[in-house]
Amino acid sequence: MNATTNTPYTKRLWAPWKRLGQYFLSLISSMEMGVLLLIFIAISCIAGSLLPQIQLVDTGAIQRQFGDAYPYLNAMGLFDLFYSPWFIALEVLFFFSICIGSFRWLRPAWLSITQKTLMDARHIRATSRHHVIDVASSVPPPEILATMKMALEQQGFDVTGSNKKHPWSLYATKGRLGRVGPMITHVGIALVMLAVFWGAFTSFTAQHLAKPGETFAVSESETFATSTKPPFWFGSIPDYRVQIDRFDIDFQLKAPMVPKQFTTHLSLIDTVTGETLKKGVTSVNNPFRYKGLTFYQANFSPTTLHTLTINGVPQRVDANQTLAGRPFAIHPLNETTRLFIFPLGRFTDGLQVNRVEILQEKNGKLLGFDKGFSVKNKNVLGLTEGADAQAFAGQKIGYTQAVMSTGLQMKYAPETWFLYVSLIVLALGCVMSAIPHYQVWLALGNELNTFNSPPNSVAVYSKAKKHPKRLARQLERVLDKLPTPAYKHHGSTEIGPTT
């Protein structure tokens, strides 16, 4: 008893909320809202491109550029626009608009291509792009219909017969892929957004500048970032270590100082057993993948390591000490003599080559140091990377190379495959959308209860999604097939319910 009395009350209680919900659903899924969101996001993207963003420009520089206006603009999130709450809110709204809207706008499209329903007069009247032709002929209407069916099929239309639910004698359609294209496109966009959403909770990126021979864990990288913080982040971090075996830079032949490609040889080492799990190579545009983690070759940087040759034997020195504010390395030659190697960097004398200056220390006295680092001093040897070895301190010394450290970017993005599938769906939808879709309805006059058409006639209703003239030409060819035709055109204003 209580239940029966409570139900109407509950319904009454929920009724305004239900109406409100329906109103919001209707609002968010409306075409107008969709267009507004498209325009707002476009404007935001333009603003985000023209205004400096903190990901690309130093915050201090932005403050200097905007002066007193900076705090206000910053509070509006304009310098971190794409991560600002209001832009994320726009994206979320857009996602829901496209998901809910697609069901609402494109359901009729789906039904029209499946030919099941929505071929009633009300539907045709709701569309403004239609053409009405009454085909009054001395030939009996059924014969006209048969001729037109054949002619439409010759034009590539898929023709179906009458449906008990609707008054049409014939329904013909062409280019169904074009009709379904926007639907696929919308689904593709929604899937892309879902993929990005998935990535926000599972992916991470890390960057690390590593010297050859160095070993590091991914989580110990110089920068390690997840899109969202735990407990919302539920990705996984690999437990193995990365070892840099070798790093090579290949320079352009036409411009020897411009890198053509840089390549890192690396090994993945099991933390517990110390075993090599996998060896791999990564270079720009050729990432190395292992169990969901991708290693990208991002950049390179000079290190303190340098390779010399002493009497033809390669020797690696580390300029990790400083003398008079300059980095240097010490390499002992014998019990009384040591070499002090001072790297000069890559831009000496306007040449983009690495140079070192080498001094010798004999019995605890650094020769040539009091004169500064002048290469004219006979106690100072200036060497260019890759040049011939020279005699110094009783040895033949050459400078092979300045060892570079490799800049690796590591990314764990389990959503990538899903994103690629979504992009394929999106691209497919875009291509399909370019195909024009035509619909033609044929009806005998006496079947048309809801339109003003003469009873002894056949009416042709058509609708074109793109290229209406092409459809008109095709219909023209169809009408040409009719015996002794007599045409009377009815304009759109004549369409309407007889009631």
Partner 1 sequence: MISELAIATYTQQSHIAFVSAQGLAIISIILLCVAPFLPRPMRSFQYGIDAFLSVCLLSVFILRSLASEFFALTNMFESLLAVALGVVICRYILEPRIRIQSFHVLSMGLVLVALGFATTLPSEIAILQPALMSYWRAIHVPIIMLSYALLFMASIAGVLMIIKRGSSPPLQRERIGERGFSQLDQETDCPLTQLADRAVYLAVPTLAIGTALGAVWANEAWGTYWNWDPKENMALATLFVYGAYMHMRLNTQIKPQSLAWLLVIGFAVVMLTYIGINLLGVGLHSYGNFMMS
Q: Which residues, numbered 53-72, are part of the site for partner 1 (CB under 8 A)?
A: 53, 55-57
Segment contacting partner 1 (CB under 8 A): 33-41, 222-230, 387-395, 440-448? 33-41
Angle between helix 85-114 and helix 176-202 axes, rounded to 10 deg = 150
Q: Which is nearer to partner 1, 131 or 338 (CB)?
A: 131
Kindly determine how many residues on this chain lie close enough to bind partner 1 according to the rule CB under 8 A. Answer: 71
- On whether the CB atoms of residues 495 and 443 are closer than 8 A, the answer is no
Q: With binding defined as CB under 8 A, does residue 49 bind partner 1?
A: yes
Q: Which is nearer to partner 1, 13 or 89 (CB)?
A: 89
Q: How far is the CB of 53 from partner 1 (least distance, A)?
A: 7
Which of 320, 288, 284 lies closest to 303, judged by CA?
Answer: 320
Segment contacting partner 1 (CB under 8 A): 147-155, 227-235, 357-365, 464-472? 464-472
Which tokens hold the place of 403?
């060892």
**Between β-strands 293-310 and 288-290, what pairing exists: parallel, antiparallel or unpaired?**
antiparallel
Q: Which residues ranging from 240 to 299 are in contact with partner 1 (CB under 8 A)?
A: 252-255, 258-262, 283-287, 294, 296, 298
Q: Which is nearer to partner 1, 136 or 308 (CB)?
A: 136
- On whether the CB atoms of residues 398 and 389 are closer than 8 A, the answer is yes
Residue 401 has a CB neighbour count (10 Å cut-off) of 15
Site string for partner 1, 67-96 (x = CB under 8 A): ---------------x--------------
Q: Which is nearer to partner 1, 203 or 360 (CB)?
A: 203
Q: With binding defined as CB under 8 A, does residue 104 bind partner 1?
A: no
Cα distance between residue 178 and residue 435, in whole Å: 4
Which of 311, 309, 306 lies closest to 396, judged by CA?
Answer: 311
Q: With binding defined as CB under 8 A, does residue 472 bind partner 1?
A: yes
Cα distance between residue 63 and residue 113, in whole Å: 57
Which tokens hold the place of 411?
């990314």
Q: With binding defined as CB under 8 A, does residue 420 bind partner 1?
A: yes
Q: How far is the CB of 400 from partner 1 (least distance, A)?
A: 23
Q: Which is nearer to partner 1, 34 or 343 (CB)?
A: 34
Q: With binding defined as CB under 8 A, does residue 475 bind partner 1?
A: yes
User: Could you tell me which residues are beta bridge partners of residue 459?
Assistant: 134, 443
Cα distance between residue 325 and residue 373, in whole Å: 13
Beta strands in 92-150 (DSSP E): 131-135
Q: How far is the CB of 116 from partner 1 (least distance, A)?
A: 23
Q: Which residues ranging from 118 to 147 are in contact with partner 1 (CB under 8 A)?
A: 128-131, 133
Q: Which is nearer to partner 1, 278 or 289 (CB)?
A: 289
Q: With binding defined as CB under 8 A, does residue 109 bind partner 1?
A: no
Decide: residue 419, CB within 10 A, 0-12 exposed, 13-18 middle, 19+ buried. Answer: middle
